[in-house]
Amino acid sequence: MHIIDIIIFIVYMLLMLGVGFFFYKKNTSIEDYFVGGRSIGSFHIGLSVVATDVGGGFSIGLGGLGFTMGLSGSWMLFTGLIGAWLSAVFLIPKVSRLSNKISLFTFPQIFKAFYGNNTAMLAAIISIIGYIGFTSSQILAGAKLASATFDGFSFTQVLIAMGVLTVVYTAIGGLKAVIFTDTIQWIILMVGLLFIGVPVAYYKIGGYDVIVNTLPKEFLSFTNLSWQTAVNWAITIIPIWFVGMTLYQRIFACRSKREAQRAWFIAGLFEWPIMALLGVVLGMFSRVAMEQGMLSVGSEIDAELGLPLLLKNVLPIGVVGLLMSAYFSAIMSTADSCLMAASGNIVTDVIKRFFIVSDKATLRLSQITTLLAGMLAIYISLQMQNVLELMLLSYSFMVSGLFIPILGALFWDRSSATGAFSAMLGGGALTAFLIVMKIEMPFGLDPNFYGILSSVILFVVLSYVFPNKANHVKILI
């Protein structure tokens, strides 16, 4: 990486940290820190949602899919569009109305309103575990990107440096800093990739004829995937739009229900086709570049490193630094959101259940908790190698435990606290067990499918057997 690119990168990172310090001074209450004062518009929220959901992790992961399977890898984010639009139509109206009544800060508080304290505590624990794992995947993505870009540093050194930078930024910023930096970062990343990255890479690798003659034929098709893969992506990613703490925080941060719905429609379109195709196309270009010997690697390459290596080798001086900065910022935008979600769960749903803490003390406690959760996420990322695998594992754990109970709370009058608690415990535990034990599942479906299925069965049966309805019939709508 040229010295000019390094200078651009350092200046860019300092500016982003500066935004964090700016909002650090502005945060005067827990409402400012966690839900942005409930006053943010749809454009900023929409870009922040897609930046958080796609982020650097999916960006690097999508490049890996393009490298290994071509255009069909873009269908992974088509599930994001479906999830965003479904939640905009069915979820946001109910959640916004409920938040207006009881000023929600976290996702588990919805479970507390419907099912009581014990179920809310379990939901918080599941969310905390899932989001710390997801934060780890983003730090890992940043380390992969940096190790492929900066010469002379080991992967471990880069991972620790990236992790510390992300954690410090997160601890001081608050949600407003996250959302406004997301907007800047995402615009730069999209414009840079669409108008510089793709055209320059296309020209450097030789254009259409070279691409067609180098890649396997199926890479240029949208049908190069099995039905099992499509189902596994759908059951893992679509439900996250109904259980993601980071997404609920942004619903609570919107000025109104209409603003939130508009933001979710914007986010869906950015997920697919814009980001999906950009990611896989650049991954395909990196495969062509490798086959032509342009990437200066050995006979084997980590598929997820293909995209950053391509950008490093084909983009002009200055542009590399800017796009690498934007990629790092996208990673940071996801990591800081996930860390805030985890710390919000720990402070609001766990600590404050047992201790009375003032708003001022809660703000400082949240920052310290974010720092400690970030250190744990760095440790976990040191134990993993595949970004997409870690992301989907974290998704699966949350989805299989939380998806069915939240649907029951919002849409089924017969749902009960006993049914919800059992479904959360049974679904999440089964998925975790199947993943850890690496048990081969029937029909090639993801363990998450069987976790959700068990959650449905437990929820419905025990809600009928133990019809101890919580407050949801009175509270909702």
**Which tens digit of pLDDT belongs to each residue from 111-156?**
999 999 999 999 999 999 888 888 887 787 777 777 767 776 777 8
Question: If pLDDT is split at 50, 70 and 90, which confidence band does 473 have?
Answer: very low
- Residues 328/142, Cβ–Cβ less than 8 Å: yes
CA distance 74 to 51: 17
- Residues 373/339, Cβ–Cβ less than 8 Å: yes
CA distance 426 to 431: 9
CA distance 374 to 378: 6
Q: Which pTM was predicted?
A: 0.87
User: Can you list the domains of the chain with their CATH numbers?
Assistant: 3-398 (1.20.1730.10)
Q: Which residues pair with 254 in a beta bridge?
A: 40
**pLDDT for 74:** 95
**pLDDT for 55:** 66
Q: Report the pLDDT averaged over residues 52-77.
A: 84
DSSP state of 316: P
CA distance 160 to 158: 6
- Residues 330/138, Cβ–Cβ less than 8 Å: no
CB count within 10 Å of CB 226 equals 10
Q: Is the peptide bond before 442 cis (omega within 30 degrees of 0)?
A: no
**pLDDT for 6:** 80
- pLDDT surpassing 90 at residue 265: yes
Structure confidence by residue, pLDDT tens digits, 353-400? 888 888 778 878 888 898 899 899 888 888 776 655 666 677 788 899
- Could you tell me the maximum CA-CA distance found in the chain, to the nearest angstrom? 68
- Residues 34/366, Cβ–Cβ less than 8 Å: yes
- Tokens matching residue 79: 């599930």
